[in-house]
Amino acid sequence: MSAVLAALALLACAQEPAPSAVQVLPSPALRSVVVIGASLSTGFGLERKLSDVLDASLAGPHPALRNEGDLLMFTRPERSGAEQIERALEAEPTLVVALDFLFWFGYGTLGPGGAPITREEDRLALLERGLALLGELDCPLVLADFPDMSAAVGRMITREQMPARETLVKLSERVHAFAAARPRTLVLPFSKLVHQMKAEQEVTIGRHTYPPKSRLLQPDELHPTLEGLVGVGQLVCDELVQRTLVREDEVLFDRQRVFERTLKPLGR
């Protein structure tokens, strides 16, 4: 009888289907991604947002990205910033991409508490308010330093909104110091990239190199073109891979393919 039972057990095992391939889950950082910021994050002048580019750059299945950016953040940076952080926290984020979240905590005409900026020190004080808001996030965070966007004065920003050159340096230094105290906070070198573009030099953004005079900014000299936004998204992904927050196989680094995927109708 035992021999019969053993034979039946072997037959049953032989008839069982082969185990399916092990499903590889997304990296923890990709489980709840939230984008916050101002006009770059919301895709000013474009039909796509930064979150759309990041979504197109991710190769495998992943949860939907949330974009809580505010196009009008420049009109009320502290209030808008606080609201965005609140919405981000509601999503229990595992990664927050906040490239231009701090921009209007340095640029602009409104200082701490919404009072008019009357001296450059007001910009540094306002930045502390923005950093305090970001300090509420306990997850990987991607920021950018402060680029010199003076070419946009008279086009998209006013002279009064433009920080002094030495102030820009101090603002960037403070952002880097903030990140240095937070092991999972990355700072992208926007100041260096914009300097190279203004000098009409060859620009390397992440893994891609653009020839001199590439049109990465719109005519307003402030906002990226779609090609520029794709470049920024690729840079974010490359930095995440370099910091081992995301696996190499989770990202598509074919720039043209990402561009094409970004242009696909939304929701598909």
Does residue 130 lie in a domain region?
yes
Does residue 18 lie in a domain region?
no
Query: By the 8 A CB rule, do 96 and 141 touch?
Result: yes
d(C-alpha 107, C-alpha 123), whole Å = 7
Helix (H) / strand (E) containing 231? helix 226-242
Does residue 127 lie in a domain region?
yes
How does DSSP assign 149-200, residue by residue?
Answer: -GGGBTTTB-GGGSPPHHHHHHHHHHHHHHHHTSTTEEEE-HHHHHHHHHTT
Does residue 100 lie in a domain region?
yes
Q: What is the pLDDT of residue 11?
A: 45
- Total domains in the chain come to 1
User: Residue 188: which domain range?
Assistant: 27-263
**How does pLDDT run across 196-247, given as a tens digit for each residue?**
988 888 999 999 999 998 999 999 999 999 999 999 999 999 999 999 999 9
CATH number, residue 234: 3.40.50.1110
Does residue 8 lie in a domain region?
no
Does residue 21 lie in a domain region?
no
What are the average pLDDT values for consecutive 10-residue runs of the chain, which has 268 residues?
46 45 76 98 97 96 95 97 98 98 98 96 98 98 98 97 98 98 96 90 92 94 96 97 96 95 77
